[in-house]
Structure 1
């Protein structure tokens, strides 16, 4: 947990903002953590077929996709979906 305080002498001095970092333990079980990021963050115009194949075998695919959607990840393949596919989900869920 990270606590932030406004500088003394400011009006906001009494404001305390607490930030709790997300739980990322699920990433230790991810197949992508064992294969490297090259497949999952390809050059523009490159195929994401191999990344999607690996994601399809991954036991924590749904947690990965949920994290990407919750955190508005805009690059790479997360949970078996490309940037465009995740954008479409965000658009339709509004």
Structure 2
């Protein structure tokens, strides 16, 4: 299992566009990938699940990947977070 914590820096938080980018990035991986915020977790391969969490700018989220390609999944999330200025 791999984990990484991010602070959301996007001024609008995780709205439709960044959610779509993140979901698209992790969907090809075999690992289960979840996002945790405010005591709740959602499947990161579900755009409705991620958007439904209502993650705002400045929020801290924890991304967790569990499976054979967990490290690669977290690396991809890290790449998207930084490239698209979503979080750090």
Decide: shared fold, TM above 0.5: no
Higher helix share: 1
- Relative contact order (alpha carbons < 8 A, sep ≥ 6): 1 or 2 greater? 2
Interval of TM-score (by shorter of Structure 1 and Structure 2): 0.3 to 0.5
TM-score (normalised: structure 1): 0.32
Greater C-alpha radius of gyration: 1
Higher strand share: 2
